[in-house]
Amino acid sequence: MIVLSNRFDRLDELIADAARGHCTWSDSLAAMAPMIAADGLSMDLIFGDNRMVRSLGTVGFDPTMVQAYADHYHRIDPRIIYAQRYASHGVIFDEELRRPDDPDDHEEFWEWLESSSAPTEASMLVMPCVGDARIGLAVHRQKGRADHTDIVQFYQRFYDKFNAINQALRRRPGAADARSNLPGQLQHIDCFSIVVDEDMQISSPSPDRAPMIRFTLPLTGLARLDEDGVLADILPDFQSALVAMMQNAFPQQGMDLTLKTGLADTMARVVPLPQTSGPRSVEVHVTYMKHALDAVKVFMGALGLTRRQAELLDVLRRVDALEEAAALMSISRNTARVFLAQIFERTGIRRKVDLLRLADQFA
């Protein structure tokens, strides 16, 4: 007879709740810690080849140390090369971090590790999320607290469940809590690609995503689209990367650009396309995480609305009638109708149900 352990069964529920925005990742990590006798757990979102890191949640770790790693020291972590090599797979780092006997290129990292409260015996799971984003889950346990087998089992279960819920949410966006605005919700992490030619005209390799790019692009802070589908208000560094890749002969490695704004953390990878008889062009792969902000600010930034227009759209997500929304905003019904007509014109959407669906995707 073989008895199957149910030790990690609740892990499924904890991952699903945080992924859907029903609770924070810190709350879920706190509930996971006793399962593996962990002194601390930390979860990060990693952009590209450790170009940028954002903490999603932590319990038991020194917040100052976590922030220092996210701000700088992740870039010089000697484990980066292995995470890059297996970027499309889950990778477990379970060896204790030790300064090598011979000097290496990571001296700054070792000095920080020794001077900070970072636990050298912490293990880590790195796994794909979406686009150029990966998830890093670190577990700290005192030596001798538990055996090696259970931490591998924990990571395997976490990896399997996280992948399952991540794929399910992206197939069925409605499965997430559209009213929730907690940080780290998986619906806040997404990616898209565009092709840009030398006239700054864009097209989308995925036609089904093309309508949303008009709103998602300004959310990232890289640029916005005018009515003709041409990039406008382009971030100077982004424009420089586009021009540089168009002017250089193919093939090129491409250029990576990271950006933090009040609305989102973004990574853009600009890659040149083979030259043809037509205009030169590049492909841009964008991965971003929308911040958990007041919906009004998001509507202003992503949809290009005024504050009062954005406030009306936010109220309409919670009430059924325009008259009720007008009363809550202390404006007349006619003023509300004018605002709504302006929102329709600005977004190019004609049906209220489609407008509210768009609002829920960005809120």
Per residue in 122-143, pLDDT tens? Answer: 788 999 999 999 998 988 887 6
**Mean pLDDT throughout 199-213?**
78
Q: Which of 128, 111, 32, 125 is CA-nearest to residue 73?
A: 111
| Residues of the chain above pLDDT 70, percent | 83
Per residue in 80-115, pLDDT tens? Answer: 766 666 667 788 887 666 777 666 667 787 777 777
**Up-side HSE of residue 272: CA atoms within 13 Å toward CB?**
19
pLDDT attached to residue 5: 63
Tokens coding 139: 């577990």
Whether 176 has a pLDDT exceeding 80, the answer reads no
75 vs 108: CA distance, rounded Å: 11
**Mean pLDDT throughout 196-211?**
79
Q: Domain for residue 180, yes or no?
A: no
Per residue in 308-322, pLDDT tens? Answer: 999 999 999 999 899
Q: Domain for residue 199, yes or no?
A: yes
Q: Domain for residue 3, yes or no?
A: no
Residue 294: what are its φ and ψ, rounded to 5°? Answer: -55, 130
Residues 211 and 92 reside in one and the same domain: no
Residues 335 and 196 reside in one and the same domain: no
pLDDT attached to residue 251: 53
Q: Domain for residue 336, yes or no?
A: yes
How far CA 264 is from CA of 69, 237, 267, 302, in Å, comes to 19, 17, 10, 11
Last residue of a domain, one of 251, 274, 290: 290
Instruction: Decide if 84 contacts 135 (C-beta within 8 A).
Output: no
40 vs 45: CA distance, rounded Å: 17
pLDDT attached to residue 62: 80
Residues 78 and 225 reside in one and the same domain: no
Tokens coding 207: 């036609």
Other CB atoms within 10 A of residue 78 CB: 14
DSSP alpha helix (H) spans, 221-303: 236-247, 295-303
Q: Domain for residue 144, yes or no?
A: yes
Whether 336 has a pLDDT exceeding 90, the answer reads yes
Last residue of a domain, one of 130, 146, 175: 175
CATH code of the domain containing 260: 3.30.450
Q: Domain for residue 358, yes or no?
A: yes
Does the predicted TM-score (pTM) go above 0.85?
A: no
Q: Domain for residue 181, yes or no?
A: no
Last residue of a domain, one of 290, 313, 345: 290
Tokens coding 334: 């006619």
Whether 72 has a pLDDT exceeding 80, the answer reads no
Instruction: Decide if 289 contacts 185 (C-beta within 8 A).
Output: no
Residues 66 and 84 reside in one and the same domain: yes
Residues 196 and 249 reside in one and the same domain: yes
| Residues of the chain above pLDDT 90, percent | 38
Residues 28 and 144 reside in one and the same domain: yes
Residue that wins the pLDDT comparison between 213 and 7: 213
What residue numbers bound the domain in which 167 lies?
9-175
User: Residue 37 in 3-state DSSP?
Assistant: coil
Alpha carbon dihedral 163, 166, 171, 172, in 10-degree steps, equals 140
Domain count, the chain: 3
**Mean pLDDT throughout 231-243?**
93
352 vs 357: CA distance, rounded Å: 9
Q: Domain for residue 170, yes or no?
A: yes
Residues 74 and 138 reside in one and the same domain: yes
Residues 107 and 41 reside in one and the same domain: yes
pLDDT attached to residue 360: 85
Whether 75 has a pLDDT exceeding 80, the answer reads no
Residues 38 and 138 reside in one and the same domain: yes
218 vs 66: CA distance, rounded Å: 30
Residues 50 and 132 reside in one and the same domain: yes
Residues 69 and 213 reside in one and the same domain: no
Residues 122 and 229 reside in one and the same domain: no
26 vs 32: CA distance, rounded Å: 10
